[in-house]
Every structure is written in structure tokens, then in C-alpha cells.
Amino acid sequence: MTDTPADRLARATPPAIARRVRGLGDRAIAWIFVAPTIFLLLAINIFPLIWTVRLSFTNFAANRPGREVEWVGLRNYERILTDERIWANMQTTAHFLFWTLFFQVVIGFALAWLINRRFRGNDLATTLIVLPMMLSPAVVGNFWTFLYQPQIGLINYTVELFTGIPASSFSMLGPGGLAKWSIIIVDTWMWTPFVMLICLAGLRSIPDYIYEAAEIDRASKWRQFWTLTVPMVLPFLMLAVLFRGIENFKMFDMVVLLTGGGPGNETLLASIDLKREAFEKWRTGYSSAYAIILFVTVFGLASIYVKALNRVRER
Amino acid sequence: MSGWSVTEPSARSKWIAGTLVVIYTVITLLPLVWIISTSFKSGPDSISYPPKVFFQPSLEGYVNLFTTRTRLGAEDFAALPPPETWYERIVRQQGMVIAGPSRFGERFMNSVIIGFGATFLSVFLGTLAAYAFSRFRIPLKDDLLFFILSTRMMPPIAVAIPIFLMYRTLGLSDTHLGMILLYTAVNVSLAVWLMKSFIDGIPREYEEAALIDGYTRFQAFRKVVLPQAVTGIAATAIFCLIFAWNEYAFAVLLTSGKAQTAPPFIPTIIGVGGQDWPAVAAGATLFLLPVMVFTILLRKHLLRGITFGAVRK
């Protein structure tokens, strides 16, 4: 084997320098790898967002591009924040948010706890239970209107079967106050598995020896549940609530196909109202301000929540 | 494992838990079973009262999904030659004739093109960025990562307004390219976070060994890291695909004809006097089935995917 001076030099060169000579440096590669993603996000997320902010100070209407655009300052924001109708929508959104989270946490946690009994076939059950949340909310939401039909729908029929209340005497999506619960039912059906999966990960992360130690200390099962299981799953549960909270604050597709915001304005969630203002009434400036208010609300609530979550995690 | 353990649930508690979970599973799958069974019902069977559990299966829904039909006058209808194909026969039984193909096939193909295009792009960009975030010191790394995640918090309708205006100016409204770029932008945050969690799990030593062996950094990435990350890439791709496949808000606002995907289309399938439920169910079945299959393939990575890599099993 010949050993040329060049080979000896190559071996003596520290790898870092050798790399720089032979190819791109790490720093260059880092930037080449990250830049396209950042650029895309700037172009399709941040630039539009800044544009929305700018539009929110004008009276621009996208369906009348010829009209002179006036700068109206904060008037759009003022009108939105003092509009009682908007506050009613916010209440509708809050109602939806609160009850969907409540049911999903309770049922999701209970299911995870049961599945964690490790009975035979629990893996198969988990996979089947998860199916609804992976499906298109629009397509599924649309089909639920069929299940909710007063005359022929499966839901009303089942209610009649078990309670004797005639199927045609009530309408899940019609007037009578049931609609805002109907959308909660569908959302809970769809997203309980999400909370369940995350809780299950939390439950499985608890090492057995903790329970063994508790058993030696003669702690009752009930006490073990409240002082061990619940606190250890809490960070996971809170993470699940964060994800679902953000998603449901933005909720649009499933509900728009179920009720379209109706009857009346009973299920008019903020996103659906925003869509009406922006793409049906074409009040672009006004709805831009509306969009900014919603975005700031989500972002603000999420940040506060993340702080609380971190505090729980540190404990 | 043998021996008695305090943490092993008793046989009785397992049995109770199992029964309750099976009951929940049956109830939660009922709407999905109903979609599939409705797709095989005839029109009258689908809207009968009480709802029919047992029925004569029919392909009427599928035929109606792929065709448009018209009603002829009684004399013209009687004068028609006998139907030549099985699907013509099904349409004739409803008292109509086929007028032409429906747009479902087109919409479904749009979903495929846009879904796969956006998935390829977002996984490509996401993997590169994730590798850089995982391995290199990047100034403001945590802020950049949070920025990438925060783009996901925006309500779609909020950015839809300027994107609508921007696309109108650039000529991207109602085009495949426009939708692919848009879905890529929405998905890339998931791709970066998820891929980072997978790449973080690959030991650095492999690459370092390769670098010492004389590979350049780029070669080490391509020949050492990528093959190890294949599972992660596949899981990330399926998540991106499912998102793009299911997306509705942008699709309904920014597409109308040429590039419209299936989700805004399926709810508009109308029959006589309202929605043609067997056809809607047939469309939904064809549209949801691939996702169900993918979900089952993905079950091991489901948790990581839905939490953006925050929770790993």
C-alpha cells in the first residue's frame, strides 16, 4: 500500500476543516435546509397576515376592487368590539368550546383508563376507536345531517326506541334549542379518541414501581387514583386540551356542514360568522379586523395556557 | 412473566373494562357502518322509516355518484331500447336515463393530485428543516420552531381573505399549484416538528462516523440519516396526506371548478328533492376508506403524529 504525502496530510487534517474543503460547511447547509420552509411560511402565512392587519384599517371590499379604499383607522375594531351580535357569537363559541372539551376529557380519560386494564384485544379496540378523528370533518359532518333527520334519521329513531319520545316530535338540527348540543355530540364523537390516545400515553408512562410502593404503604386504590394516577396524567391531559381548544376555537368545516350556523344564529361560531362577513357580505376590511381579533384571542389564550402547562410539568 | 403483581389488573376488572370499551367501540363505529351500508341502499330504502338494517343491496348510490341523469317523458321512456349495461339498468329502474358522467371522478382526482403534491413538498421541506434544527446550532432556534408551530394556530378563514386576494392577483385561484402551495404551507409545520422528533431519535454517532470516513455532511445526511428516518418520513407523509385530503375551509373558499377537491363536492350531490343520500354515502365511502386503511397502517405512530411529536411512545 502506498502512502503518499497527500494521504498523510488528509489524515492529519481535523475533520471540521476537511469537511469545509470538500463540501459545504455545516452553517451553509443549515441555512439551505431551513430557508425554503421559512420562506414558504413568510409568503403564505406571514405576508397574508400582515396584509390582513393592513386591510383591517380600511373599508376595502374585495368584490368591488374599483371602489376607492378609505383609511378608517380603528373604526372596524371599535364596531366589532361594541357589537352585541359578535359577543353573542363569542358566547356560542365559548359554549361549544367548554362542553366539547368537558365531554372529551371525561370520556377520553375514562376510556384510556379502561383500555389501560390491558384486556385482550385492547390494541384492536384502540385502533377502531381512533377511526372517526382521522376522517374528513366536512364529509362526516354532512353525513350526520342525515343521521339527525327527524323522520328517517338513525338518531331520532334510536331515541324513540329507548325513551318512547316520538322520532318526529323533535329535530336535532332544527329550532328548539337542540342544535347547539347536536354539534357538541358530533365533535365529541369525532375527537374523544384524540384525548383518549394522549391520556393512554400518560397512563402508560407511569412506572409500575410507584404503584407497588403505594401498595406497600397500604394506600387504598381510590387514594392511589387521586394522588398518583391523576397528577401524573395531568400534563398529558392539559396538552390534549390545548390542541383541542385551539382546533375547536377555529372550528369551521364540521359545523358549517351540519347547521351552517343555524337555526337562526344558534350555532353561529366565530369562524362561520367570519366567513359570512368576508365571503358572503364581502366586508373585507371589517372581517379582516374580526380575523385579527380572533387570532389574537387564540394566541393570547394559548400562551397563558402554555405557561400554566409548563408550571404543571415542572412540578 | 410469572408471579403475582400488584399492578396487574384482576381478571374481573379486565373483563368489565373490556366489555365497556367494546360497547363504546360499537356505538362509535355505528355512524361509519351506517355510511357504508347507506351507500349500498336504494333511494327508497335509504329513507325508509324505521331505518332499515337489512335490505337488498344495490349499487344505485355508486351509479348515481358517477353519473348525471335526466327524466324522460313517459312515451319517450317506453320507446327506449332495453338497457345495454348493468349501470344503465340501475338508472332505468329509477325511471331515468344517463345524461353523462358526473364530476365526482374529476374531484376525486383533484384530491389525489393536490394531496400527493402537497405531501411530497411538505415532507421534502420539512425533512430538510428538521435535520438542520436537530443537528446544527441555529441562532434563535427555539423561536424559529415556535414561529413555525404558531402558523398552525391561525384560523384558516383569517388568512383566507388575503390569500384569496393574492391568488387572484397571481392567477393562482382555483389552480392545482395554488392549492398545493397552500396545503404545503399549512402542513410544513407538522412536517418539521414531527420529522425533528424522529431525527432526534437517530443517534448522532452514525453520522459522525460517516463524516470521519470522509463523507461530506450532505452525503452523510443522504446516505446515513435518510435511510434511518424512512419510517418517520412515511408516517409524516401519511399525516400530511390525510390533512390535505380532509381539508375543507380553503378548498371551499379558493376553488370553484377546475381544482375543487372532493370534500366541498360531496355535500353538493343532489338527487330528487334534496340530497341523494345513497350517492352521498357512496362518495363518502370511497373518500373515507383510504384514510381508514392509512390509519390502521399508522397506528404505531398515531400519538406522535397528532401531538406534533410532543408525545412519543
Q: Does the structure show a pLDDT above 80 at B265? A: yes
Model confidence over A27-69: pLDDT tens digits? 888 899 999 999 999 999 889 989 999 999 998 888 887 777 8
Q: Does the structure show a pLDDT above 70 at B311? A: yes
For the four alpha carbons of B61, B65, B66 and B69, in that order, the dihedral sign comes to positive
Q: Which three cell numbers stand for residue B80?
A: 327506449
Residue B43, SS3 per DSSP: helix
Contact B299 A208 (CB under 8 A): no
Domains with residue ranges and CATH for chain A: 88-314 (1.10.3720.10)
**Residue A133: CB partners within 8 Å, gap ≥ 6?**
A190, A191, A193, A194, B306
Contact B157 A291 (CB under 8 A): yes
In B198-217, the residues whose Cβ lies within 8 Å of chain A are 211-212, 214, 216-217
Q: What is the pLDDT of residue A114?
A: 94
Query: What's the mean pLDDT in B270-294?
Result: 88
Q: What is the pTM of this model?
A: 0.88
Model confidence over B9-34: pLDDT tens digits? 888 889 999 999 999 999 999 999 99
Report CA-CA distances (Å) from A159 to A156, A168, A170, B104. 5, 11, 10, 35
Residue B70, SS3 per DSSP: strand
| Nearest CB to B263; choose among A126, A134, A136 | A136
d(CA B162, CA B302) in angstroms, rounded, equals 33
Q: What is the pLDDT of residue B3?
A: 43
**Residue B13: CB partners within 8 Å, gap ≥ 6?**
A117
A219 in contact with B at a CB cutoff of 8 Å?
no
Contact A152 B218 (CB under 8 A): no
Q: What is the pLDDT of residue B297?
A: 87
Q: What is the pLDDT of residue A2?
A: 47
Chain B interface test: which of A60, A93, A103, A119 (most B C-beta within 10 Å): A119
In chain A, which residues have pLDDT < 70? 1-23
Query: What's the mean pLDDT in B50-77?
Result: 87
In A11-40, the residues whose Cβ lies within 8 Å of chain B are 15, 18-19, 22-27, 29-34, 36-38, 40
Question: Residue A46: its chain B contacts at CB < 8 A?
Answer: 151
For residues B97 and B72, the answer to whether their CB atoms sit within 8 Å is yes
In B136-165, the residues whose Cβ lies within 8 Å of chain A are 136, 138, 144, 147-148, 150-165
Closest chain A residue to the Cα of B246, Cα to Cα: A136
Contact B155 A250 (CB under 8 A): yes
| Side chain identity, residue A305 | Y
Pairwise pLDDT comparison (B311 vs B103), residue with the higher score: B103
Q: Where in chain B is the domain with CATH 1.10.3720.10?
A: 104-306
Look up the CATH number of domain B104-306: 1.10.3720.10
Chain B interface test: which of A24, A41, A162, A257 (most B C-beta within 10 Å): A41
d(CA A232, CA A236) in angstroms, rounded, equals 8
In A90-109, the residues whose Cβ lies within 8 Å of chain B are none
Q: Is the ipTM of this complex over 0.85?
A: yes
A246 in contact with B at a CB cutoff of 8 Å?
yes
Closest chain B residue to the Cα of A298, Cα to Cα: B153
